[in-house]
């Protein structure tokens, strides 16, 4: 699995700032740093962080994302933290008259990335105990609400950041999944496989001649449920060869491992 190095896509992620408003626990701040690093984000701002916040705990929870923590910007207010941002997305779990136009992180991601190609975008998260106040939401041009159960809407701060960051990273298309190197096996190769398995199953007594056709329909159905690559077929052929060899040894008959 690899990540693309497309400079345009990378620049968009670099222009996205995670803003934590009045964070309380250092462990959560550190965990946010780790989530950001996982998803290609690096710009962190703390607005009005509690004086008692434990930055030693934050460093411990950040693990290898300590550079994000150390390079953060500290501001007294949310207004300062987002002053250079064209779009400000505020995360909210509460419902209300002025929160009804919230969108999910997945729905917001394309807009965020589009704006972030040329300007700064902020994703704002409130403190662990009460979330963003109505006054703080006034600075947000858009609202994000993470889908969650009605039984318990509130998410841990770092979990909320991770979900939003994940949707952005996926939408950026920077992630390139690993590709299967072996091509799908052609029909003729599969037919050789089925013939070898039929012979092996007969020799070990799994089925009788008069039931072979019926049983092989089931075997074919099993092998057809997923893509069989040429490498897969070679392995299965090897199993059939070894099975036949073991059967001849057990029965005291001469035999080889050929197909």
Residues 22 and 138 in one domain: yes
Report the distance separating Cα 239 and Cα 217, nearest Å.
Answer: 19
Directed axis angle between helix 187-203 and helix 212-223, to 10°?
130
| E strands in the chain | 2-3, 16-21, 43-47, 73-75, 85-91, 120-125, 142-144, 175-176
In sequence order, the β-bridge partners of residue 103 are 144
State which residues form the domain around 203.
Answer: 187-250
Residues 58 and 148 in one domain: yes
User: DSSP state, 76?
Assistant: S
The pLDDT assigned to 99 comes to 58
Domain boundary among 118, 141, 176: 176
Is residue 200 situated within a structural domain?
Answer: yes
Q: What is the CATH number of the domain that holds 28?
A: 3.40.1280.10
Residues 140 and 199 in one domain: no
Q: Per the structure, how many domains does the chain have? A: 2
User: CA 12 → CA 69, 86, 163, distances in Å?
Assistant: 20, 13, 18
Give residue for tokens 């965020």. 112
Residues 194 and 158 in one domain: no
- Burial (CB < 10 A; 0-12, 13-18, 19+), residue 128, is middle
Question: Which two three-digit tokens encode residue 168?
Answer: 């952005």
Residues near 10 by Cβ (< 8 Å), separated by ≥ 6?
A: 40, 174
Cα 28 from chain centre:
20
Q: What is the CATH number of the domain that holds 196?
A: 1.10.8
Give residue for tokens 């889908």. 147
For the entire predicted model, the pTM comes to 0.78
- Burial (CB < 10 A; 0-12, 13-18, 19+), residue 149, is exposed
Is residue 27 situated within a structural domain?
Answer: yes
Residues 138 and 213 in one domain: no
Residues 151 and 221 in one domain: no
User: CA 151 → CA 102, 154, 206, 225, distances in Å?
Assistant: 19, 9, 53, 39
Residues 102 and 161 in one domain: yes
Is residue 256 situated within a structural domain?
Answer: no
Is residue 10 situated within a structural domain?
Answer: yes
Cα 12 from chain centre:
19
Closest CA to 157 of 168, 169, 146: 146
Q: Are 154 and 131 in contact (CB under 8 A)?
A: yes
- Burial (CB < 10 A; 0-12, 13-18, 19+), residue 249, is exposed
Domain boundary among 141, 176, 211: 176
* Regions of the chain short of the pLDDT cut 70: 1-8, 95-100, 253-259
Residues 168 and 126 in one domain: yes
Domain boundary among 176, 199, 229: 176
Residues 92 and 144 in one domain: yes
Question: Which two three-digit tokens encode residue 166?
Answer: 């994940």
The pLDDT assigned to 177 comes to 81
Is residue 257 situated within a structural domain?
Answer: no
Is residue 182 situated within a structural domain?
Answer: no
Residues 56 and 91 in one domain: yes
Closest CA to 41 of 69, 16, 61, 11: 16
Is residue 259 situated within a structural domain?
Answer: no
The pLDDT assigned to 178 comes to 82
Residues 37 and 97 in one domain: yes
Q: What is the pLDDT of residues 133-150, one digit of tens each?
A: 989 999 999 999 999 888
Residues near 104 by Cβ (< 8 Å), separated by ≥ 6?
A: 144, 145, 146, 147
Residues 191 and 154 in one domain: no
Is residue 181 situated within a structural domain?
Answer: no
Helix, strand or coil for residue 156? coil
């Amino acid at each position: 699995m690899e990540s693309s190095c497309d400079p345009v896509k990378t620049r968009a992620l670099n222009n996205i700032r995670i803003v934590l408003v009045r964070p309380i626990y250092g462990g959560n701040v550190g965990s946010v740093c780790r989530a950001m690093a996982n998803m290609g984000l690096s710009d962190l701002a703390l607005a009005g962080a509690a004086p008692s916040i434990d930055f030693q705990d934050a460093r411990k929870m950040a693990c290898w994302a300590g550079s994000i923590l150390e390079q953060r910007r500290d501001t007294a207010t949310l207004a300062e933290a987002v002053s250079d941002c064209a779009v400000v997305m505020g995360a909210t779990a509460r419902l209300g008259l002025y929160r009804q136009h919230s969108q999910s992180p997945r729905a917001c991601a394309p807009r965020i990335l589009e704006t972030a190609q040329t300007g700064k975008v902020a994703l704002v998260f409130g403190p662990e105990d009460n979330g963003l106040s109505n006054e703080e939401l006034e600075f947000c041009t858009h609202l994000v609400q993470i889908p969650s159960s009605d039984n318990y809407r509130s998410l841990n701060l770092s979990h909320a950041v991770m979900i939003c960051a994940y949707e952005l990273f996926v939408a950026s298309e920077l992630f390139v999944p690993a590709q299967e190197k072996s091509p799908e096996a052609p029909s003729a190769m599969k037919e050789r496989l089925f013939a070898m398995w039929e012979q092996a199953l007969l020799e070990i007594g799994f089925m009788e001649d008069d039931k072979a056709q019926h049983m092989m329909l089931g075997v074919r159905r099993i092998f057809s449920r997923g893509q069989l690559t040429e490498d897969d077929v070679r392995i299965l052929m090897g199993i059939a060869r070894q099975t036949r060899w073991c059967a001849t040894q057990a029965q005291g008959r001469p035999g080889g491992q050929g197909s």
